[in-house]
Amino acid sequence: MEIRNAVHPEHAATLDTKGLRNHFLIQGLFEKDQYKMVYCYYDRLIVGGVCPLSRLRIDIDEKIIGSPYLLDRRELGIINVGGPGAVEIDEETIDMDFRDCLYIGKGAKELVFSSNDHENTAKFYLNCAPAHTHYPNAKAAFKEAEATELGSLAQSNHRTIRKYIHPDGIKSCQLVMGMTTLETGSIWNTMPVHTHQRRMEAYFYFGMPSDQVVFHFMGQPTETRHIVVRNEESVLSPSWSIHAGAGTTSYTFIWGMVGENQTFTDMDAVPMDVLR
d(CA 227, CA 165): 27
Q: What is the pLDDT along the chain (276 residues), one digit of tens a residue?
A: 999 999 999 999 999 999 999 999 999 999 999 999 999 999 999 999 999 998 999 999 999 999 999 999 999 999 999 999 999 999 899 999 999 999 999 999 999 999 999 999 999 999 999 999 999 999 999 988 889 999 999 989 999 999 999 999 999 999 999 999 999 999 999 989 999 999 999 999 999 999 999 999 999 999 999 999 999 999 999 999 999 999 999 999 999 999 999 998 899 999 999 999
Q: How far is Cα 246 from Cα 203, in angstroms, rounded to an integer?
A: 13
For the chain, domains (ranges, CATH) are: 2-6+19-274 (2.60.120.10)
Helical residues (DSSP H) of 62-116, grouped into ranges: 62-65
Q: Tell whether omega for the bond before 192 is within 30 degrees of 0, i.e. cis.
A: yes
DSSP code for 84: S
* Three-class secondary structure of residue 76 per DSSP: strand
Residues 39, 204: Cα–Cα separation, whole Å:
15
The pLDDT assigned to 125 comes to 98
* Buried-exposed string 118-156: b where 16+ CB fall within 10 A, e elsewhere: eeebbbbbbbbbbbeeebebbbbebeebeeeeebeeeee
Q: Please state, as a whole number, how many other Cβ atoms lie within 10 Å of the Cβ of residue 115.
A: 26
∠ CA 145-166-111, nearest 5°, is 85
pLDDT recorded at residue 126: 98
Query: Smallest Cα–Cα separation from 242: which of 214, 271, 211?
Result: 271
Q: Are 53 and 121 contacting, i.e. CB atoms less than 8 angstroms apart?
A: yes
Report how far residue 235's alpha carbon sits from residue 190's, in angstroms, rounded to the nearest whole number: 14
